[in-house]
Chain A
């Protein structure tokens, strides 16, 4: 059965195509579509090769509809692949779905598995029976989770009354009580504030380090990936575009970040004006350029290798009084476009990975 190899996930030319019935318009068209459906085939995942070692933390990113969730569903055995091979924790996910289920944990950021109307503790206790966890082991894990995630402050509160961050902590505990070797996380920080995000990330790093749990996460948030994953994969249109180390990915493909500064009105008045009555900051450092923004804001786009963000803030602060400063990160869609434009990249990286 689950031989203890060093490989956690391995897929070979994994593909999934859906056959979708097209609907004819009108009532009679609808009836005809049932008897004589007109089908078209949509490729959701194409020839995907993934190799994940035990203990890795890997980020899977891509725009909506890129094939991320189809991939996860095939890795968990919920969905049957159209072709290709897949092995997870030594199991064939589809054929051995229920056996595999005991070895993996899954958290969906937008859907809780907790019982909505009952106190959190009730769900955590019930899961022992759903996963057939030995009582002592369960008690031990529960105590550990309560301490690590500070669950005690709300463990007796009905789940529907929890904040999003608290609920996510509850869901993480629920997914880990049966000692899974592999944890899938789907948008684990979506909708959370900065503090809650940081806390979740810290916890994930901790369980990866102390328990050796392999973590595969899908996300829209590049910060998640940068904070957690040494390695990431970018997929789009069902294909793998990039697979490699995260370091430097944003610098290479991320384009520019944007600093948006709220200027004190008194100082704003002293600034010279350019086209469309935009205030102009003069003498910008190299690699920084001004982009249009709504008054009383000023927006500066800059690349990371130009200068660190805090230095730019200091530079600007020395010239004018700032009310507030925010940063806009380049979004994933932007990055993917860059990677497309840099067409040969994937080949090059794959070679690098297989050599290294």
Chain B
């Protein structure tokens, strides 16, 4: 028990150091970093602008007000940025496999997943998170009637934490696919960028099968969308009870566990087939 805890503490401090190496690398290219963060800021801004442009024409989306959609978009974007920040090493895992660097990772006495995850740390994702935060504040301004309670605040934290966990788990699934082939890395984009896009709009927009997939198979809607519905006081998808939103961390933990098991399976397959 005690050794388990000290193990985790030493792993965390190692993770911090590995990320530190990445940060020092990026600071070396200052101009590039600045342009990078600015570009990312711009990308995100254009994405939000699209929401307002659509609402300029259409006023309402299945009863959703522009402020509500903006708040949803802001939370999704912030969460996605957070996941990308911590999961960028997983996102570029195909490069590690292509360059044959996974052997080196297996040759070290610390966990492979931690080394892969800390192999990259894209600071420009801070641009997306900042933008998400600003947008969140602006959406609140558009929603003067929204009353905050402790439960809603808790739900916001749940939503961001669960959503980010599921996005990272999706990146982990994509990384695991690389043990079989590096040609289909784009497939994971359906669940990452695609998942972000799907989450950015009210779930009732999609057909029922689609909704069920994102609620129960890749539970992005369970982990992220349901908490947002709760704090906006909107009905939950597919007639689920409001309190179900409190289960979002559970959904995230389950999905992450499945992704981790699949990853372990992938590592074992790599060790018997030799990449």
Contact = CB atoms under 8 A, between A and B. Distances in A.
Contacts of A126: 17-18, 21
A213 B17 CA distance: 29
Interface stretch (A4-12, A70-78, A217-225, A276-284): A70-78
A129 interface: yes
Contacts of B153: none
Contacts of A76: 106-107
B107 A106 contact: yes
Contact of B17 (A19, A80, A113, A129): A129
Interface residues of A, number: 31
A18 B274 contact: yes
A113 B109 contact: no
A101 interface: yes
B108 A131 contact: yes
A264 B21 CA distance: 57
A79 B107 contact: no
Contacts, number: 63
Contact of A130 (B25, B28, B109, B271): B109
A118 interface: yes
B274 A132 contact: no
A117 interface: yes
A40 interface: no
A97 interface: yes
A34 to B, nearest CB: 9
The bracket for how many chain B residues form the interface is 20 to 34
Interface stretch (B34-42, B97-105, B120-128, B219-227): B97-105
Given A111-B104, A115-B25, A79 B274 contact: yes
A98 B18 contact: no
A269 B17 CA distance: 69
Given A18-B273, A79-B272, A118 B104 contact: no
A129 B13 contact: yes
Contacts of B13: 129
Contacts of B106: 76-78, 97
Main SS of chain A's interface residues? mixed
Given A78-B107, A101-B109, A115 B10 contact: no
- Greatest chain B CB density within 10 A among A70, A117, A122, A131 is at A117
Contacts of A131: 108-109
A122 B17 CA distance: 11
A77 B108 CA distance: 11
Nearest to A113: B104
B272 A130 contact: no
A99 interface: yes
B205 to A, nearest CB: 32
A94 B21 CA distance: 29
Nearest to A108: B104
B243 interface: no
A208 interface: no
B14 A130 contact: yes
A104 B109 CA distance: 10
A130 B15 CA distance: 10
A122 B104 contact: no
Contacts of B274: 18, 70, 73, 79
B23 to A, nearest CB: 11
Contact of A102 (B14, B25, B109): B109
A109 B225 CA distance: 50
B147 interface: no
Contacts of B273: 18-19
A101 B111 CA distance: 11
A158 B29 CA distance: 13
A122 B24 contact: yes
A119 to B, nearest CB: 9
Nearest to B17: A129
Contacts of B110: 98, 130
Contacts of B17: 126, 129
Interface string B3-17: 000000010011001
B109 A117 contact: no
A180 to B, nearest CB: 11
24 contacts: A18-B273, A19-B273, A73-B103, A73-B274, A77-B106, A78-B103, A78-B106, A79-B271, A79-B272, A79-B274, A80-B271, A97-B106, A98-B108, A101-B107, A102-B109, A104-B107, A106-B107, A111-B100, A111-B101, A116-B25, A129-B13, A130-B109, A132-B10, A132-B109
Given A99-B109, A158-B28, 5 more contacts: A80-B272, A98-B109, A106-B107, A115-B21, A126-B21
